Amino acid sequence: MARFQHTVTLVPVPRRWWETCVATLYDLAQDTAADGTRLRLPDGRPLPGLLLARGRHLRPGAQYRPVHDEDGEPDADRCLTVLSWDRRRETALEVDTLDDDPVHPARLVCALGLTSAERPREAWL
């Protein structure tokens, strides 16, 4: 199995800017409603390109899949799973991607999280 290591240098951003971005994204996600497998934006418009494949919207275990543009079917090779969703404590997601290339198949699983969306203290990947 191949292993890769990479160091990334991040430039600090103003804390207030970061808190505003997190709060805005969190509010938008929470105001999005599930209508069966389809997701609706706060104004009632359908959210294009993404559907709820399993579970209850924004609850641990909920799985979301992107939709193919060509046929409108969910992409079986990509999935986003909610691990935890708590504005005050921790929000964590897992992204699972499969590249089923016959010559070089690969699978990438990435977990990311944020401690407290109300007052972000720590993000991890």
Question: pLDDT tens digits for 30-51?
Answer: 999 998 999 999 999 999 899 9
* Chain Cα centroid distance, residue 36: 19
- 55 phi-psi bin (left φ>0, alpha ψ -120 to 50, beta other): left
Q: Residue 97 is encoded by which pair of tokens?
A: 């991607």
Query: In this prediction, what percent of the chain has a pLDDT beyond 90?
Result: 53
Q: Hey, which residues does 79 pair with through a beta bridge?
A: 96
pTM of the model: 0.80
By residue range, what is the domain housing residue 63?
A: 15-124
Q: Is residue 21 part of a domain?
A: yes
Quickly list DSSP for 74-108: B-TTEEEEEEEE-SSSEEEEEEEEEE--SSS-EEE
18 pLDDT above the threshold of 80: yes
Band (1; pLDDT cuts 50, 70, 90): low
Q: Is residue 47 part of a domain?
A: yes
Q: Is residue 53 part of a domain?
A: yes
Q: Is residue 8 part of a domain?
A: no
Sheet holding 122-124, edge to edge: 33-35, 38-40, 46-54, 63-66, 78-85, 90-99, 106-115, 122-124
Q: Is residue 91 part of a domain?
A: yes
Q: Is residue 6 part of a domain?
A: no
Res 4: pLDDT: 78
Domain count, the chain: 1
